[in-house]
Amino acid sequence: MVQLISTGIEDVKLVSLRKFSDERGYFYESWNADKFRAAGLPLDFVQDNQAGSVAAGTMRGLHYQIAPHAQGKLIGVIRGSIYDVAVDIRRGSPTFGRSIGVTLTASEPARIWIPVGFAHGYVTLEPDTEVVYKVTAGYAPQAEGGLRWDDPALGIDWPIPPAEMIVNDRDRNWPRLADAPAHFQYGAA
């Protein structure tokens, strides 16, 4: 069974998955096209990604891709845990500039759906964390964009102190929301 759970931003959904456990361990369907479509996510994914982070406090984000390579993402954790964030960057949206954050763990088989028009990032909460995600468009370096993960205008309450985060140079140098190009318009096809 797949259940969509509303978040503080209408188009971002937490996806609850049914987990079966017994003395051998556990089983759950991490992706089933028919069940996801029936739950309200009619998606066509084109690429699966997996990222491993050695240390707790590893920051990845806030990233997006612009058209014609814009990506929706379905994110989950298969080892460890993360604090996952989506930021609405659709100009004209009633939630423009707002963020939603959720904790995803390997012990709970949930996913978060982040549609096109959102910047996405996460920080690892445990060492040796592995994240898996499906995307609706392939990776296109010429279409990459991002926002500063620590932009005060976003008001993200990261659970790891910023001074303790491991952040690469690319993610340190993205623009703040106020300086970012308007790549997405709310309600645009």
Q: Which residues contact 156 (CB under 8 A, 6 or more apart)?
A: 85, 87, 99, 101, 149, 150
Catalytic choice (26, 28, 63, 83): 63
End-to-end CA distance of the chain: 30
User: Token pair of 55, please?
Assistant: 């240390």
d(CA 107, CA 26): 10
Helix count (H) and strand count (E) of the chain?
2, 15
Six token digits for residue 46: 């084109």
Catalytic residue among 64, 83, 122, 133: 133
How far apart (Å, rounded) are the C-alpha atoms in residues 52 and 80?
10
63 included as an active-site residue: yes
Three-state SS for 141?
helix
Catalytically annotated residues: 63, 133
